[in-house]
Amino acid sequence: MPSNWCAGRGPGRPGRSRPGEAGRGKPAGPGPSSGAESLRGIGWWPLHRSGTAKAGEHDAVVTDGGQWTDSPEGGALRLDGTSAYADTGTRLDTAGKDYSVAARVRLTPEDMNGFHTVLSQDGDQASTFYLQYSGPDQNFAFSFTGARTVAEKAEQPQAGHWYHLTGTYRQKDHRMRIYVDGRPAGEREAAGTVKPTGDVVVGRGKFGGKAADHWKGAVSDVHLYDRELTPGEVKSLSSHEPD
């Protein structure tokens, strides 16, 4: 395995979700706000058979239980749904700034009834947000503890298919949105109360102070933004990765 792999620790669940440990990355710095470069974000991890970052200062560190696989964009990280995840070493200011997160995902047929979180950020006892699959809703969701924005306008996800997910949050009116394959799929007003104490992680959430709701399937092309993406930017990112 490449040098950015390390031994895994601990299991997990969210909003209703659950184990993991707080990361130690520094808060991410400001990123560009316009032009083609802006869609790289303040952090970009293609996960095309390595954890190397194309934007941001930190490579992703992947635990045992992760393996490389194929994707439409050239490669992906396959996670076991039990303990594997990747720590980006990067923190978003989810308490004071607008933000957006995005990833390409594929689910496996097993356990389509539970919660599976593909992106989250560690707080003390829970995650500050969860970009996830919600088994009770049988659809994707962008969630806080106690509040779920379900992709009600999107078709029910199918195992084995690739989807592009984007979650955005605007502080001014507490508006959270989820997009599926570049199209608006759900929105609501909700305020997250969990303060970030750790990193954005790929492949699990945190709930009750423990790692939770591990992603069982594949993920690639993870992006973090310190602003709310516009619908046009989400559509562009869904259809084509930045150069």
User: pLDDT (tens digit, 9 = 90+) per residue, 102-136?
Assistant: 999 999 988 788 999 999 999 999 999 999 999 99
User: pLDDT (tens digit, 9 = 90+) per residue, 61-94?
Assistant: 999 889 999 988 789 999 999 999 999 999 999 9
E strand or H helix at 147: strand 147-150
What is the end-to-end Cα distance of the chain in Å, rounded? Answer: 26
Average pLDDT of 129-156? 97
Annotate 60-119 with DSSP letters as a single string: PEE-TTEEEE--TTS-EEEEESSS--EE-S-B--TTTS-EEEEEEEEE-SS-TTSEEEEE
Whether 39 contacts 223, CB under 8 Å: yes
